[in-house]
Structure 1
Amino acid sequence: MVALPSSCSQPPRPKVKPFSVPPASEPRLIPYITQRKGEEAAPDNLMICLHASGPRLYYRDEDPRDRPMQNVLWARCGFNPVDRHGMPTGEPQWKLMHPYRQMMTMRTLRCQVCSGPARTPLGFIFLAGPKDEDPARPTIYTNQPPVCPKHVRASAVLCPHLEKNPMVFLARSAPLFGVHGVIYGLDADSQVRVVARPDHALPFDHPNIPTVLASQLIRRLSSFQVMDLDEVQRELSAAA
């Protein structure tokens, strides 16, 4: 348990960044990272405490599970029971990623659809919309956990943003980079408020990280090949 100073304030609830996934053509195939009905954000109990090193964001009843990565505070969200396959139950909330399941699959490089191992003989498969990224860029930042070979095509069908023709990044190197989240601060009345909602990833060494509430873990793709679905499946078949 983290010891907190008593002079701390409480903010409004932040929103989880949306994940554009509509109902799947096969209802039983629901990505593991999809948030389910009943998995709600925790009640507001955030506070900012001032230290010699600067302000820092806390939960009033914080425990070590709230800082799973690089000491960054993570957005809390409920967990529904799981079925006999270990998959979450409940009606899918197709526009939301569960912040903790996204973090865990990205952290451990497991498939965002089935939560199984995503490593292939050639590296890891990451997907993006056909117009999301410039394939000529040497570095890509992604909030989408990888997919295993079995679920590459299923992911393309599940997410209309991918238009059934995603840009496929076959990455040999995908180090952790930082987070997406909201930045908090104190207003003129010393009340905790959201002061910024960056639309880009913040690296772990960003000066605002101590007052960020993170909801997505980001990896940096720095050694990759850009392919389409058929190409990556041919490469994987040849390497098997």
Structure 2
Amino acid sequence: MTGVAATRLRAPAVVAREGEAVPQYVVFAEGANGPRLRHARPRPGDWGHGFLRARQKTNRRGHPIFPAVHARRQWQYIDLGLCQVCGRPARDPVSGRWWWLLSDDGQSAAQGYTNAPPTCPGCIPEAIAQCPYLRKAAAVYTVTDYEPYGVLANLYRPLGELAIPVMEGVELTLSDPLRGQALATQLLVLFHSLQPEPLPAD
């Protein structure tokens, strides 16, 4: 397992847990541009970058659910530049660059954006040991900066005030015309000055 002892492995901070799931009670309400999805009982923090965000508890109770990602922590860790494994800052204090661990299928690096939060160098070996996709092929990068690009979301259609689910895991940009029908589950970020780096030693 890439030299990381099994006893040292822990569930990454960004992974969802069994005790955090809640039903998504969403409805449509008339807005300035037509029907818009919202939670049946609105709360502060429901919205991010113009999208309605999925709800989850944040108590970290219960067994981790691999490979499910906790929607709010994923969003928060990206916004704050925190490591998806330990939750500490993933920015190099000397270079000022953020560290990112991606599956080396060429897709994330080529497209220039991802839904994965950053990963600090100290946690990269552990992250690879935990993830079967990364064990097959992992690549490490640093970036000078990054910015919100879009979301992964579940789409609904209105039937009066009712919200009928129609599609899951759809990529939408921040300006997508379907954003009023979307329940965002993960934030996507666009990289600036992506640079490959060697894999840190275990």
The residue that corresponds to 1:153 in the other structure is: 125
- Residues 92 and 197 of structure 1: is their aligned pair in 2 closer, same or farther, counting only changes over 3 Å? closer
The residue that corresponds to 1:17 in the other structure is: none
User: Could you tell me the TM-score, scaled by structure 1's length?
Assistant: 0.73
The residue that corresponds to 1:90 in the other structure is: 62
**What secondary structure does 1:174 align onto?**
strand
Q: Which amino acid aligns with 1:192?
A: A
Alpha-carbon distance between aligned partners in 2 of 1:117 and 1:58, rounded to the nearest angstrom: 32
1:31 maps onto 2:37 in alignment? no
The residue that corresponds to 1:236 in the other structure is: none
The residue that corresponds to 1:202 in the other structure is: 172
User: Could you tell me the TM-score, scaled by structure 2's length?
Assistant: 0.86
Alpha-carbon distance between aligned partners in 2 of 1:215 and 1:194, rounded to the nearest angstrom: 14
**Structure with the larger strand share:** 2
1:51 maps onto 2:31 in alignment? yes
Alpha-carbon distance between aligned partners in 1 of 2:18 and 2:56, rounded to the nearest angstrom: 11
Equivalent residues in 2 for 1:72-111, closer than 5 Å: 72-80=51-59, 88-111=60-83
Q: Structure 1, residues 175-217: CA drift from partner, whole Å, max 9, x if none?
A: 1111101111124x76421233354x31111111122100101
Q: Which amino acid aligns with 2:195?
A: Q
1:212 maps onto 2:182 in alignment? yes
Runs (5+) with no aligned partner, structure 1: 1-23, 81-87, 234-240
Q: Structure 1, residues 85-110: CA drift from partner, whole Å, max 9, x if none?
A: xxx34311112111111111011110
- Residues 101 and 44 of structure 1: is their aligned pair in 2 closer, same or farther, counting only changes over 3 Å? closer
Cα drift, residue 153 of structure 1: 1.3
Instruction: Verify the 8 A CA contact 1:180 1:218 in the aligned structure 2.
Output: yes
Q: Which amino acid aligns with 1:181?
A: A
- Residues 34 and 134 of structure 1: is their aligned pair in 2 closer, same or farther, counting only changes over 3 Å? closer
Runs (5+) with no aligned partner, structure 2: none
1:129 maps onto 2:103 in alignment? yes
Alpha-carbon distance between aligned partners in 2 of 1:119 and 1:154, rounded to the nearest angstrom: 18
**What secondary structure does 1:207 align onto?**
coil
Percent identity (aligned): 28
1:119 maps onto 2:91 in alignment? yes
The alignment of Structure 1 onto Structure 2 pairs a total of residues equal to 195
Alpha-carbon distance between aligned partners in 2 of 1:156 and 1:92, rounded to the nearest angstrom: 17
Higher Rg of the two aligned structures = 1
Cα drift, residue 134 of structure 1: 6.8
Q: Structure 1, residues 132-170: CA drift from partner, whole Å, max 9, x if none?
A: 4275x3x41101000112111111111111126411121
Alpha-carbon distance between aligned partners in 1 of 2:71 and 2:29, rounded to the nearest angstrom: 24
Alpha-carbon distance between aligned partners in 2 of 1:32 and 1:102, rounded to the nearest angstrom: 9
Alpha-carbon distance between aligned partners in 2 of 1:168 and 1:179, rounded to the nearest angstrom: 23
Cα drift, residue 221 of structure 1: 1.2
